Amino acid sequence: MQARQLSTTALCALIAFGQQADPVFKSTTQLVVVDVFARDKSGKDLTNLTKADFTVLEEGKPQQIQIFELQKLESRLLPPVPKQLQTRPADKAREARPQTIVTRPAGEIQYRDKRLMVLFFDLSSMQPPEQIRAEKAALKFIDEQMTPSDMVAVMSFASKLRVETDFTADREKLAEAVKSFRLGEGSALAEEASAGDDTGEDTGAAFEADESEFNIFNTDRKLGALESAAKMLAAMPEKKALVYFSSGVGKTGTENQSQLRSTVNAAVRANISFYPVDARGLTAMIPGGDASKGATKGSGLFSGQSQRRQRDRFADQQETLASLAEDTGGKVFLDNNDLSLGIVQAQADIRSYYIVGYYSTNPAADGRYRRIQVRLNDKQSQAKLDYRGGYFASKSFSKFTGSDKEQQLEEALALGDPVTDLTIALEVNHFRLSKGRYFVPIAVKIPGGEVALSKKGGDSAEIDFIGQIRDSKGRLAGTVRDAIKVKLNAETAAQLEKRNFQYDTGFTLEPGKYGIKFLARENQNGKIGTFETKFTVPELSGQTELLASSIVLASQRESLTAAAGGAEMKKKWLAASPLVDEGRKLMPSITRVFRKDQTLFVYLEVYDPGLDDGAKTPSLRTTLAFYRGRAKAFESEPAAVTEALSKRPGVLPVRFEVPLAGLNPGSYTCQLNVIDEVGRRFKFLRSSFVLLDARKAEAN
C-alpha cells in the first residue's frame, strides 16, 4: 500500500537526556591493500619472494609495508562428486540459510591459500531457460572443476540481494544453494522493449505504457545489487572474482552511467574483478523474434528497421557486461553455450599472489585518486608484476557533494550492520482510520548534544532523515526521505546539550507484521544514527474484545506553527493524524522520561463501542492509575466518554491530563482502565514511565 508522509517537525523538547559523555579521542589511519601477481619470464608464478624484496610507492613516496602474505593456490582438480549426491533439495532449505558474508576486521587475512569466487545469479535479467542453463553451468563447475584452493560463495538477485551461502569448500552445500532457486523467479523483470519501439510484441492493446523509466530504474537496481555485493566483500583483503550470470544489462542512453561508474568503483576498492557470463549463450537473432513471442508490431519487420534495433539492443546489453569486466580487470564470456568455461576462466586468472598492505602516509581525506607503484628491489629481475595502479582516498564529510551525501545515506540504509555514530530513539503507534486502513505515526528523538550547529547566519542545525518500512515478505510498504533545517535562538542553542530534537512522520498501512529501518544524519559533521525494529499493525475488526489503539504518553501539546524547523505540512496528512486536534499536536514521549514540573498527557482511541437501544449512544467509563511495584500511587476520578469524534464516527477518544508534581521520583506503571458499559466489554492498557525530580533533571 502506498505510504503517505504526515508531517515533519523538528523542535527542542524540554526533556533532559542525561549527563555529558566522557571525551573520546580518535585517530584515523587508512589501510591500503594491494594484491600483487608476480610471474617470471616464462609466466610461472614466483612464490619465493619476501617483504624485503618489495618497495611500494604512493604518489612517488615510499610506504612502509605492514601486511605481507603469500596466497599459494593449487590448480589440481578435485575428484568429481558422486552422482548419488546430486539431488535437488526442498525450497524451504533456502529460507533457513544465514544470508550474510562473515568478515573480520579490515586487513585481517581470513582465508589463507584460498581462491575466493562468488557465483552471482541475476535472476531478474534471465528468462527460465537461461536460468536453467546458468544453474547447470554452476553445478558442472562445483561437481567437476573445483580445486582444493577454491572457496565459493553464492549470491542471487531477484527483487533483492540474497546471500545463498557464505564462502565454503563444501560442494554439497554449494550445490544445494544453486539447486534451490525457484524456476522463473524474478524473470518478470527481464527487460522488454519500450513502447514506441517496433521490435516489441504486438499485444493488440490500443495503448501501451512507455517502459523507458522502468528500464532505467531496473538497470540501476541490477548494478546497485552488484555494488552492494562488492561493498559486502570489501573488508576482505584477498583477491576476489565475481562471476556474474546475466542475460545482458541494457542501458537507456546515459541515464545509467552514474550507477555503472559507482558499481565499478566499489568493485575496484574491494579488490573484486567481475567475470560476466551471458547466459543466453550463442544466439541467432531471428527477424521478428522466435516462436516464444507474438508477431512484432509496426512495419519495421518489412523495412529491416526492427532487426537493426533488435541487434543494437542485444549489443548494448553485452557492452555493459564487457564494461564491467574491462574496468575491474576481469573478462567477459559471450556467445558460448558451455557457460561453465566462464567460471573456469575466472578460476584460472587467480593464481598465487601476494597481499601487500600499508598505512598511507597521506592523511588527507580529500577523495582524490592516488597512484601506486610496486617494484622489486632486485633491479635485474625480469619478473612481471600485475596489480591495481591506484585508489581513491576516503573523503571527509565537509568535502562531500550533494550526490555524495545522498549516496552515503542510501549505502548506510542498505548496510546489514547499523551505523551508530548518532544516538536516536524511535516510537511506533497505530490508529485505525477505516476497515483495513491504519495510520502509523513515527516519532524520532535525537539528543541535542550530539547535533553540531552551523554558525553561518546564526545558530542552526541541518538533519537528514531516510527510512523504509517493509512487510513480512520483505516488500517495500513505505518510504520517507526528508531534510530539515532548524534555526535556534541564542538561549535555545546554549541549552541544546540538555534538550532533544524530535521528528514526526506517518504512514497508512494495512494490518500485518512490518519492519522499519530509520536513519538520521546531522549535516555538520556527517554523523549517522540508525534505528531498526519490528512492529505489528493488528487487525481490529471482527474481534470480540474491546477494540483500542496504542496508548500514547506525552508531556507536550505543541502548536503546529511552533516548530523550530520543518518541511511543508500537507493539510490532508495532518487531518489524518489522530494526534492533531484543533491546530495542536500531541508529541509522544519516546523515552518515557518525565519531570515533576510537567503534565502527563495520555491519549487512547476506542473503536466500535456498544450502542444503547434508545438514543444509539455509547458510554465508556475510564480511570487512570499509577503503580510503583504493587502499590497504587495515584488514581483519577472516573471519567465518562460518550461523544465520538465528529469526523470519525465510531471512534471515542480517551484523554487524561495529570500534573506530576504530587508524585515522588521513580519508576511507574501507568494503567488505563476502559469499560464499555453498553457493550459490556473492558480493556486494561499498561505503559511504563520514569519520573525525575525537576532540579536533578536540570542539573544533569
Sequential DSSP letters for 489-544: -HHHHHTGGG-EEEEEEEEEE-SEEEEEEEEEEETTT--EEEEEEEEEE---SS-S
Q: Mapping DSSP to helix (H, G, I), strand (E, B) and coil, where does residue 63 land?
A: strand
Compute CA distances 691 → 482, 623, 688, whole Å. Answer: 33, 20, 10
Sheet harboring 460-471: ordered strands across?
476-487, 460-471, 512-522, 528-537
- Per residue in 570-582, pLDDT (tens digit) is 555 666 788 888 7
CA-CA distance, 432 to 440, in Å (whole number)?
A: 9
Instruction: For cell 527487460, name the residue.
Output: 191
Spatial separation of the C-alpha atoms in residues 468 and 532, rounded to whole Å: 10
Question: 700 falls in which pLDDT band (50, 70, 90)?
Answer: very low
Domain architecture of the chain: domains with CATH:
1-22+399-550+559-588 (2.60.40.10), 31-72+354-392 (no CATH), 114-202+209-351 (3.40.50.410), 592-700 (2.60.40.2550)
- Rank 188-202, 460-474, 480-494, 653-667 by mean pLDDT and report only the highest: 653-667
Q: What is the pLDDT of residues 209-256, one digit of tens each?
A: 444 555 667 788 888 889 989 988 988 889 999 999 999 888 766 667
> How many residues are present in the chain?
700
For residues 628-647, one letter each, b for 16 or more C-beta atoms within 10 angstroms of the residue's C-beta and e for the rest, the string is: eeeeebeebeeeebeebeee
Instruction: Give mean pLDDT, residues 622-646.
Output: 92
pLDDT class for 293, splitting at 50, 70, 90? low
Mean pLDDT of 180-194: 68
What's the mean pLDDT in 536-561?
87
Q: Of 601 and 83, which is predicted with more confidence? A: 601
pLDDT tens digits, one per residue of 14-63: 233 333 444 444 455 678 889 999 998 888 899 999 999 999 999 999 99
| Contact between residue 482 and residue 567 where contact means Cβ atoms under 8 Å apart | yes
Q: pLDDT tens digits for 556-567?
A: 888 776 555 544
Residue 10 pLDDT level (bands cut at 50, 70, 90): very low
**Spatial distance between the Cα atoms of 23 and 50, rounded to a whole number of angstroms:** 43
Share of the chain above pLDDT 70, in %: 81
* Helices and strands (H, E) in the chain, number of each type: 12, 34
Instruction: Please report which confidence band the pLDDT of residue 699 belongs to, taking 50, 70 and 90 as the band edges.
Output: very low
Q: What is the pLDDT of residues 392-411, one digit of tens each?
A: 888 888 888 887 888 788 87
Per-residue model confidence as pLDDT tens digits over 91-124: 445 555 556 788 877 667 889 999 999 999 999 8
For residue 187, give the DSSP letter: G
pLDDT value at residue 202: 53
Whether the per-residue pLDDT at 524 is higher than 70: the answer is yes
